[in-house]
């Protein structure tokens, strides 16, 4: 039995496209980090939108790649959840698909490395964004404190009002 060449080629092309999208995603993460560093909020928003678009494309492509992988497994009479290594070994058993199996093995290795790099870049961006949010919240709290009068007292209704700095509520004389 022979594996159709066009299915193998589509599977290879989907992995190559996924590698390209992951590279673009890393660049988008870097653009967001640079926008944070340079305080260019409009660029941060644009990069975030681009990242969202890339993630959507990547999810669709991964679904397509998963479908092609299942089809190959079915054609090779493998379990649909068989690991990639088992799929590659089955492809290498056929002389006409050995070159494609070799290409797939290299692409799979590159994909794993790229996924690892992208995850690391994503974690860096996540930390930076959380830190920026924390700083922003602290600045807002500080600004809110600056806008409030220095002395306030509770009224009998439970609300606060500004105290008169000339009259002290506490008897300091004795």
- Give domain limits for the chain: 5-162
Whether the pLDDT of residue 46 is over 70: the answer is yes
- pLDDT, one tens digit per residue, over 30-45 is 999 999 899 898 999 9
Residue 24 CB neighbour total at 10 angstroms: 16
Q: Is 162 helix (H, G, I), strand (E, B) or coil?
A: strand
Identify the pLDDT of residue 151.
64
Rounded to whole angstroms, the Cα distance separating 97 from 89 reads 11
- pLDDT, one tens digit per residue, over 69-104 is 999 999 999 998 889 999 999 888 888 888 999 999
> What tokens appear for 130 in the block?
């959380």
Kind of pairing between the strands at 160-162 and 152-154: antiparallel
Whether the pLDDT of residue 1 is over 60: the answer is no
∠ CA 68-100-84, nearest 5°, is 50
Identify the pLDDT of residue 50.
95
> What tokens appear for 157 in the block?
């209704």
Unique residue bearing structure tokens 């870049």: 121
pTM, two decimals, is 0.74
154 vs 71, more confident: 71
């Amino acid at each position: 039995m022979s594996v159709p060449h066009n299915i193998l080629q589509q599977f290879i092309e989907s992995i190559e496209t996924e590698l390209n999208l992951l590279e673009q995603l890393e660049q988008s993460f870097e653009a967001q980090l640079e926008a944070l560093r340079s305080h260019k909020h409009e660029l941060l928003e644009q990069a975030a939108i681009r990242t969202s678009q890339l993630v959507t494309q990547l999810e669709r492509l991964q679904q397509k790649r998963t479908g092609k992988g299942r089809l190959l497994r079915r054609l090779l009479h493998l379990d649909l959840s068989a690991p990639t290594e088992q799929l590659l070994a089955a492809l290498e058993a056929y002389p006409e698909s050995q070159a494609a199996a070799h290409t797939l093995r290299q692409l799979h290795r590159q994909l794993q490395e790229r996924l690892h790099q992208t995850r690391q870049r994503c974690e860096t961006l996540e930390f930076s964004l959380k830190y920026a949010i924390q700083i922003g919240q602290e600045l807002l709290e500080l600004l809110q404190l600056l806008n409030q009068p220095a002395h306030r007292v509770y009224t009998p209704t439970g609300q606060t009002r500004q105290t008169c700095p000339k009259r002290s509520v506490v008897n300091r004389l004795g």
